[in-house]
Structure 1
Amino acid sequence: MTDSNSLSRRRFLQATGGAASAAAIAGCTGNPDDSGTDNETDTGTDTTEGGEETEVGPNYLQLINSTMTTLDPIKSTDTASGRVVQQLFDGLTNYPNGEVQATNLLASGYELSDDFTTYTFSLKEGVEYHDGTEVTAQDFIYSCERLAASSNSRRAYFILDSMGVIHETETVTQDGEEVEQYASGTLDINAPDDYTIEINLEKPFASTIPMLAYSSFAVIPEGIVGDIEGYDGEMEHSEFATSNPIGCGPFSLNRWETKTEAIVDRYDNYHGTVADLDGVRWQIIEDADAQFNYASNKNADAFAIPTAKYDPNKLTVEGTDDLGRDYGTYALDNGSTLDYTGVATINSFYIAFNQMNVDEPAVRQAVALALNQQTAVDQVFKGRGSTAYHFTPPNIYPGGANEYRSHAESEYPYGYNESNLEEARSVMEEAGYGPNNRYEVTFTTYQSPSWQQIGQILRDQLTSAHIDMTLEEAPFSTLLQRGRNGNLEMYSLGWVMDWPAPDNFLQNLVPELTITSQEGGAQGAYVDWQGTDAAERANEAWDTITSNPEPTDEAESIRNEAYVTMEEANWDDVVLLPVYHRIDQLFNYDWVDMPRFGGGGFSRMMLNNVSVGDRS
């Protein structure tokens, strides 16, 4: 068995590609449409090239998606794939309508041991997969074993390390070096009978129930894919992941044609609410302008509006519900009045610095002093977010949004909602820089007009502070690879939640995990944060967090204090500069009836509670 942090983070890296920027991992994000909602893209897709579109009936919900990579829930890390995976598969728990309070789904209930390490779940009986077979506890064990052991898994660290299910490891040789890896078949998950599941953890983990709601823990039929020891598989992985994904969700796959469309059909034997829709069709369109034109022509029933096409003056917010979700209308140029939902989802978008490449603290501080987060939100992102001063988003910050703002207003050292160029220049001059000794730095953004605009503002401002900034754009996957290898100076990324707790964000700012020279590259943010008093404080705070994992008020209080310590340590060294927390907006024509989505985002919403009426 192991609780090794290095093993944990190595698995984390393998599962997600490395990351700590909101841009790629379960949380890592960077979307060409500025919103950065996509997790890391898996570049190896098994799908075929695009083809002709499929005609579907009027009772299909019409949506837009970007390029998908897989329909295997343990391999899916990008939001585009996740939108469809969410409709095909169910797990023990779920975020209803994308809200962040997990509730039972396949589980009818559970018990927790007095030491908080054993969860005993009761399964609903009579639940059927899309192939007509029944869901059993043994299927869950098989599904978890795939998550831990399959070469197709991108989320092994979820079960082995974050949740910490008891397991054994073995020593293997990779590239001439001995490394520890999971020993297949050793997960301590048991099935006393067909409808009872017992999960044993190495130590308590307060976010177990929310984590089980993540689609990586979806249940599939035992032995359906032979990509782990002991199973030959009923089909090849490529078939399961692209054309025949058997789950027990409210919809089953009709068709997926890469670069063209994905279609799912209602599953009439669903164990929950059977959909009113006949199905859902996603048109796959990459270009943001093309997406908007497609929606404006009433080809999509519900959609986002790219920042470049969004006019805040056309939005009317009529109210805010008890979960903090804004609702109202939006006047589209085609004469339609759209229904509107705006939700402060759990995300953070930021500028990061590799401390080894931008080794002058004054430079990082000067950028923080120059940045006016309020200007970024209002002028660049057109009010579609809130200013960020912590990496932890307001809705999961210790003490809530009010405490988030209070702490930032009173303690943030670089100016709350203001730009202080005089002080930025003073900081640089105290460090020995001036008109004849200027500092050169390159700011790399993923392909986003908004982040380039922020870069242009900072570049112009910092000229007076003796900093010459060069701007460059890189494809998202290229930026990530360069980050892992330590080949970035200053860059933009974002993070969306895997589970709704501060540790899911702050795991990316554990200094010892941000070292890009370690095996596989950085396992947290690509910032090489080391050798400073603030870095040591952050490491000690993380040790406190991981030493107090119990789901109790006392342990939560200890963790909360340590979370704030990590945020303040980051303020001192400015390895990660928060910019804004995005508000997710969804617009739909009035013939669509759907619940409002929650803080987990629309991509986590199951669509069996949506209906469409007459589009004429």
Structure 2
Amino acid sequence: MRKGKAALILAVFVALTVGLAMIFAGCGEKKEEPKEEKKKGGTFNYCLVSDPVSLDPAQLQESQGIEVGKQIFDGLMDNDPETMELVPAMAESYEVNDDATVFTFKLKKGVKFHNGRECTAEDFVYSWNRVCDPDTASEVSYHMSAIKGYDEVTGGTAETLEGVKAIDDYTLEVTLSYPYADFVYHTAHPVFSPIPKEVVEEYGSENFSEHPVGTGPFVFKEWVHEQQITVDKNPDYYGEEPYLDGVVFKVYQDEETAYQDFKAGALDDAQVPQGQFKAAEEEYGERAIFKAMLGIYYYGFNMNTAPWKDSKDLRQAFNYAVDRQTLCDVVMEGQRIPATGIVPPGIPGYQPNAMEYKYDPDKAKELLEKAGFPGGQGLPQLTLGYNTGVGHDTIAQFIQGNLKDVGVNFNIEGYEWGTYLDLIQGEQVTFFRLGWLADYPIMDNFLYPLFYSENAGIDNMSQYKNEEVDKLLLEARSTIDEDERIELYRKAEKIILDDAPIMPLMFYKTSRVYSDKVGGYMRTPDDLTPLELVYFKE
């Protein structure tokens, strides 16, 4: 690797990670924490609201699965839990060629799978090819779409990714189809985690989720669906040994029941239910965590179906009808941030005024009339769908009231999480609630998954397709200069917002409490808890 342009890429990477560190470090000086004994042992009872869809890295796309999966699986890189800075995990180091098309990773030696076998570069080759195999039907394979040969493998005309090679046991070479300096961020996503081929062959690819084996800090033990998932400490972990003996992820169907169990001592942490944020702050003090996350809460419209597909004016009218400030200040007790676009604060390139949709009922009425639905007349019967158990009904009722004020009436209906996702993807629920938390802290992660045409029906649940946006997103990916790259993403975001395939409502804050018996507990900017850092005080 010559130092010219590669040095530039490194400089951009350093600038980005330093910037993120400053953003998440806070404004004041860090307090000196009193030293306390970090006891080894004990089982942490973790609150999980709804059962994961899968524990297979090839299928990890929703929060519940990722919360558990990140404890079982590691990858080449990871994000610092406080700053989101990119840090090595199984990679010892990596190099990038001059035009950001070839990434060479040196692997740490002696990293073992939970079945005791050493993990090598060939395991990454196997695992990434499996993700892209059409038979796997991965809904998150698009994270690998920049890799050379991706289209051929996912399209069924090739069996292996041309761009992924094991040079030797500890050297993995990844060649891309186009320059993409930010590709290394993708490798922190759990879909890139290696898994042992022999375990997949033993249980069958479709059953690997029930017998997951990785290289992470905890070893899978048992999954009793709709009840709990148990993991034990990995005694051979290549990183810092976890303090805990194990974790039991207790599955609940609603936040309120889980919160009451936390109060009774049956859980060591819990999500704070909506409407109890202020009370939790008063009761638990510093053990009530409310801080900004890298995520957005939104309502989406299915762009393949009427009335949404036929009228941008209608979709814009819905956006103008919503009072985001009151939603955040009153309904959410000040524990959410009104959305100003798609990309949240904390992501380099964030635009404070990306969208034009201020609360303006008169503008909403004007657009409804322009769309051919004066005062809401002529609209078909509409139903907003949401997943139950986590307070989305209260938000839906507030939005329902906002729209009623401009003449639009719609029903609301809740569903169990897994069923709900199936209904959205099956285009049976066409007006829906969803959220998105960062997989990695770059604009691409909010725009490419949710709005690139080829991701329609996967994470692009709105089925949004715009050739100009596609072109801008691909051009941004292949632009090495960070300022130029960000400007392209900003242009794409503006176009998407004007097209209004979604209603951006709020930027997330975490709302979690934890027991006074534990230390080392934290929530990351992508709303996870690194359980390998948690310990019992006594």
Q: Which residue of 2 aligns with 1:230?
A: none
Report the secondary structure of 1:346's partner residue.
Answer: strand
1:73-88 matches, cutoff 5 A: 73-88=57-72
Superposition deviation, residue 529 in structure 1: 5.1
Q: Which residue of 2 aligns with 1:389?
A: 340
Alignment pair present for 1:357 and 2:321: no
Alignment pair present for 1:64 and 2:47: yes
Structure 2: distance between partners of 1:255 and 1:488: 33
Q: Which amino acid aligns with 2:484?
A: I
Report the secondary structure of 1:199's partner residue.
Answer: strand
Report the secondary structure of 1:547's partner residue.
Answer: helix
Q: Which residue of 2 aligns with 1:587?
A: 513
Q: Which residue of 1 aligns with 2:530?
A: 606
Structure 2: distance between partners of 1:307 and 1:464: 24
Alignment pair present for 1:414 and 2:366: no
Q: Which amino acid aligns with 1:180?
A: G
1:597 corresponds to which of 498, 505, 523: 523
1:169 corresponds to which of 141, 148, 152: 152
Report the secondary structure of 2:483's partner residue.
Answer: helix
Structure 1: distance between partners of 2:142 and 2:338: 30
8 A Cα contact 2:141 2:191, kept in partner: no
Identity of aligned residues (%): 24
Residues 447/123 of structure 1: CA separation in 2 closer, same or farther (3 Å cut)? closer
1:497-536 CA deviation, whole Å, 9 max, x = no partner? 233322222225647558xxxxxx7456444657xxxx5x
Q: Which residue of 2 aligns with 1:241?
A: 209
Structure 1: distance between partners of 2:97 and 2:376: 67
8 A Cα contact 1:541 1:563, kept in partner: no
Alignment pair present for 1:112 and 2:99: no
Q: Which residue of 1 aligns with 2:22?
A: none
Structure 1: distance between partners of 2:374 and 2:55: 55
Residues 197/60 of structure 1: CA separation in 2 closer, same or farther (3 Å cut)? same
8 A Cα contact 1:147 1:155, kept in partner: no
Q: Which residue of 2 aligns with 1:493?
A: 434
1:282 corresponds to which of 249, 269, 277: 249
Q: Which residue of 1 aligns with 2:443?
A: 502
Q: Which amino acid aligns with 1:610?
A: V
Q: Which amino acid aligns with 2:291?
A: V
Superposition deviation, residue 283 in structure 1: 1.9
Root-mean-square deviation (Å): 3.1
1:190 corresponds to which of 146, 165, 168: 165
1:465 corresponds to which of 406, 411, 420: 406
Q: Which residue of 2 aligns with 1:574?
A: 500
8 A Cα contact 1:123 1:197, kept in partner: yes
Report the secondary structure of 1:187's partner residue.
Answer: coil
Q: Which amino acid aligns with 1:62?
A: N
Residues 203/311 of structure 1: CA separation in 2 closer, same or farther (3 Å cut)? closer
Residues 240/527 of structure 1: CA separation in 2 closer, same or farther (3 Å cut)? closer
Structure 1: distance between partners of 2:67 and 2:307: 37
Q: Which residue of 2 aligns with 1:40?
A: none
Structure 2: distance between partners of 1:586 and 1:168: 41
Alignment pair present for 1:214 and 2:164: no
Residues 159/442 of structure 1: CA separation in 2 closer, same or farther (3 Å cut)? closer
1:517-572 CA deviation, whole Å, 9 max, x = no partner? xxxx7456444657xxxx5xxx32431331242473x2x33332232223322343
Residues 182/390 of structure 1: CA separation in 2 closer, same or farther (3 Å cut)? farther
Structure 1: distance between partners of 2:232 and 2:396: 44
Q: Which residue of 2 aligns with 1:10?
A: none
Q: Which residue of 2 aligns with 1:148?
A: 132
Structure 2: distance between partners of 1:250 and 1:435: 57
Residues 463/155 of structure 1: CA separation in 2 closer, same or farther (3 Å cut)? closer
8 A Cα contact 2:60 2:140, kept in partner: no
Q: Which amino acid aligns with 2:357?
A: Y
Superposition deviation, residue 111 in structure 1: 1.0
Q: Which amino acid aligns with 2:340?
A: Y
Give the length in aligned residue pairs: 494
Q: Which residue of 2 aligns with 1:544?
A: 472
8 A Cα contact 2:385 2:433, kept in partner: yes
2:288 corresponds to which of 313, 316, 340: 340
Structure 1: distance between partners of 2:405 and 2:72: 55
1:456 corresponds to which of 393, 397, 401: 397
1:563-600 CA deviation, whole Å, 9 max, x = no partner? 22233223433321110011012211222111533212
Structure 2: distance between partners of 1:541 and 1:255: 44
1:311-363 CA deviation, whole Å, 9 max, x = no partner? 31552xxxxxxxxxxxxxx505xxxx661333322211112234542334443
Structure 2: distance between partners of 1:491 and 1:383: 24
Q: Which residue of 1 aligns with 2:363?
A: 423
8 A Cα contact 2:338 2:507, kept in partner: yes
Alignment pair present for 1:447 and 2:387: yes
8 A Cα contact 2:73 2:215, kept in partner: yes
Report the secondary structure of 2:57's partner residue.
Answer: coil
Superposition deviation, residue 157 in structure 1: 2.6
Any unmatched runs of 5+ in structure 2?
A: 1-39
Alignment pair present for 1:253 and 2:228: no
Q: Which residue of 2 aligns with 1:180?
A: 155
Which deviates the most, 356-365 or 587-596?
A: 356-365
Report the secondary structure of 2:296's partner residue.
Answer: strand
Superposition deviation, residue 235 in structure 1: 4.3
What TM-score, normalized to structure 2?
A: 0.82
Any unmatched runs of 5+ in structure 1?
A: 1-56, 171-178, 227-233, 316-329, 515-520
Which deviates the most, 203-212 or 149-158?
A: 149-158
Which deviates the most, 487-496 or 476-485?
A: 476-485
Structure 1: distance between partners of 2:250 and 2:450: 37
Structure 1: distance between partners of 2:51 and 2:530: 20
1:279-329 CA deviation, whole Å, 9 max, x = no partner? 212222223222111111112112221214x231552xxxxxxxxxxxxxx
8 A Cα contact 1:99 1:601, kept in partner: no
8 A Cα contact 1:396 1:501, kept in partner: yes
Q: Which residue of 2 aligns with 1:379?
A: 330
Report the secondary structure of 2:71's partner residue.
Answer: helix
Structure 2: distance between partners of 1:182 and 1:381: 50
Structure 2: distance between partners of 1:92 and 1:294: 37
Residues 295/451 of structure 1: CA separation in 2 closer, same or farther (3 Å cut)? closer
Residues 455/314 of structure 1: CA separation in 2 closer, same or farther (3 Å cut)? closer
Structure 2: distance between partners of 1:138 and 1:433: 59
Superposition deviation, residue 607 in structure 1: 1.8
Q: Which amino acid aligns with 1:573?
A: D
Residues 540/103 of structure 1: CA separation in 2 closer, same or farther (3 Å cut)? same
Residues 380/590 of structure 1: CA separation in 2 closer, same or farther (3 Å cut)? same
Residues 297/437 of structure 1: CA separation in 2 closer, same or farther (3 Å cut)? closer
Between structures 1 and 2, the one with greater helix share = 2
